Chains A and B, each alone.
Chain A
Amino acid sequence: MTSISPLRPRKSRVLTTVMALYLIYTLLPLAWLLINMTKTQSALFSTPGLSFGGPFALFDNIGETFTYDNGIFFRWLGNTLLYVVAGAGGATILATAAGYGLAKYRFPGRRAVFAVVLGAIAIPGTALAVPTFLLFSKLGLTNTPLAIIIPSLISPFGLYLIWVYAGDAIPDELLEAARIDGAGEIRIFFTVTLRLLVPGIVTVTLFAVVSTWNNYFLPLIMLSEPKWYPLTVGLNQWNAQAAGAGARPIFHLVITGSVLTIVPLIVAFLLMQRFWQSGLSAGSVKQ
């Protein structure tokens, strides 16, 4: 007879059902997105929201999204990839290094660093937008990719996460042993630390990827030419076409474009998932 222990529990149908209720709550708005992605622009205005209707236009919509306005969607996709790889990648590197430094080196002023970071992000970003714009304008950076990438290199949450994680996951003896063997600090970072930090780094990367992917406000201020827009700003422009004299609503492209925007994030999530299996709990029977 198997004893039921926390290590080898029986799957609970009750729990699954309760969680499924939350799942429905989560999926309802997304269902709206997916259903309306299949409608033509005029069907959007004439059919009820949660049911299919009109001709099935999913593939037409996808095609039109990619070809509208000389295929600018591709350009926006490329821009977003650039900003994410450079921005999220850079943010992960900076946060990992800084978090490790704060966790494992007891230098004076380290508590102040985090307090200052937290204090700075406590100030609402919208009122900092104009000063940032003016500053970047003086540096000649507005309307360039750097205006988007540089601000996204700061991930305060990433900093905190790595700080805590490094504190827990990297034993001081390991570092000492490496130092006794004669390794320099940078060397230790690359050979010892990074490997131990992998699950934390993965989490930080995932959050950084999502937030730079969906970065909207600062690009809106910094960029005046569509050729540098990320997808979020581009879709917003398509959305705004619905209003005013000469309006040509293209809500069907906005919806389709939005779903297409989410897909790479899902892929990124699935790819990074497996890293959560490794680390300290590798080989455990927990999922």
Chain B
Amino acid sequence: MTSTAVAQAPPRPATRGRRRRNWRGWIFVAPFLVVFALTFLAPIGYAIGLSLFRDQAFFGGTTFVGFDNYALVLADSKFWQSFLRVLVFLAVQVPIMLLLALVAALAIDSARLHAAGFFRIVIFLPYAVPGVVAALMWGFIYGDNFGLVADLNHLLGQDVVKPLSGNWMLASIGNIVTWEFVGYNMLIFYSALKVIPNELFEAAAIDGAGTFRTILSIKLPALRGSVVIATIFSIIGSFQLFNEPNILHSVVPNVVTTDYTPNMYAYYLSFGGQQYNYSATVAIVMGVLTAVIAYVVQLRGSRKGM
């Protein structure tokens, strides 16, 4: 992590006291880890256990199958289709969303915007809208019977815009996700910008740097860490895409099927088919793939590594 202004402490001789003191770091980390173990590690362990068995809900009981489930997942075309789908989604939607968030954060931070505070809260607002009403809202906007799109198509004379059709669906979902999360990411960048010490800007001003020079030389480097982490979290979020396609699944189930994204596939395996073992396997495979890709991004993104 680049440290912009804080001077490093002068090197000290290694002492037994310092090593003991460093171990005290665990005091601070422990509470988080204890709860984490209960709420994440235990269920994950359980899920790993589940993935090694096969259970029949009606008859037959539970049998140990080793890695059979994993072999099935890796050969499952439905799984790979959904994985490819979120990969494509990610490659397009994440850059667009982060770019918008970056521009918005820079704009709001630049002091060149009228009513910046107003922009800040309005852009954040979509993140605060509860999911349950999203179906109603987007059902209206995308609705081709009586909704906004229907009116638009009427105006244009024919069915030009079809957000709920198979070809447009991924873009429609991308639109919803972008709308929801630009504000969230914008705030991440914005709070990182706020940390930049003023002296840097004063020095730059003295050197005669203009707005864009300042952005390039001071602000963007300072944002590097948050851009990396926002990217990582967005990637994880995209691979786990569930809420938004599920909303549209309730509107157009013929287009957004129960296996549209890997997370939906795992969900409906569990809650629709009670196939808990296979569902756990899908989730773990997905988790591994996601973690690998996120790790690669992190390696490339940070100079010093985390």
Contact = CB atoms under 8 A, between A and B. Distances in A.
Nearest to B288: A122
B76 to A, nearest CB: 15
A150 B209 contact: no
A125 B246 CA distance: 14
A254 B188 CA distance: 31
B197 A6 contact: no
A60 interface: no
A7 B205 contact: yes
B248 interface: no
Given A23-B119, A101-B29, A258-B129, A28 B240 contact: no
A239 B270 CA distance: 23
B26 A107 contact: yes
A134 interface: yes
Contacts of A130: 270-271, 276, 279
Contact of A164 (B23, B31, B40, B225): B225
Interface string A80-114: 00000000000001110110111011110011011
B263 A124 contact: yes
A142 B110 CA distance: 48
Given A107-B26, A110-B25, A118 B291 contact: yes
B9 A171 contact: yes
Contact of B130 (A5, A94, A262): A262
B137 to A, nearest CB: 5
A168 B211 contact: no
B291 A122 contact: yes
Given A97-B29, A100-B28, A214-B128, A124 B266 contact: yes
Interface in A183-209: 185-186, 189, 199-200, 203, 206-207
Contact of A131 (B25, B46, B146): B46
A159 B32 contact: yes
A239 B141 contact: no
A152 to B, nearest CB: 9
A2 interface: no
B133 A12 contact: no
Contacts, number: 325
A5 B38 CA distance: 53
B131 A216 contact: yes
B104 A124 contact: no
A74 interface: no
B89 interface: no
Interface stretch (B58-66, B156-164, B229-237): B229-237
Interface of B is mostly: helix
A248 to B, nearest CB: 16
Contacts of A216: 130-132, 243
B107 A19 contact: yes
A216 B281 CA distance: 24
B242 interface: yes
Given A15-B112, A203-B191, A98 B27 contact: no
B294 interface: yes
17 contacts: A15-B113, A22-B104, A111-B306, A122-B287, A123-B287, A126-B242, A126-B267, A127-B266, A127-B283, A135-B43, A157-B233, A159-B32, A168-B5, A203-B188, A203-B191, A207-B184, A286-B201
Interface of B: 1, 3-9, 21-29, 31-33, 35-36, 38-44, 46-47, 50, 100, 104, 107-117, 119-133, 135-138, 140-141, 146-148, 151, 179, 182-184, 187-188, 190-191, 194-198, 201-202, 204-205, 209-211, 214, 225-226, 229, 232-233, 236, 239-240, 242-243, 262-264, 266-267, 269-271, 276, 279-280, 282-284, 286-288, 290-291, 294-295, 306
Interface of A: 5-7, 9-13, 15-16, 19, 22-23, 25-30, 32-33, 48-50, 93-95, 97-98, 100-102, 104-107, 110-111, 113-115, 117-132, 134-135, 150-151, 153-154, 157, 159-161, 164-165, 167-173, 176, 179, 185-186, 189, 199-200, 203, 206-207, 210, 213-214, 216, 231-232, 235-236, 239, 251, 254-255, 258, 261-262, 265-266, 269-270, 273, 276, 279-281, 283-287
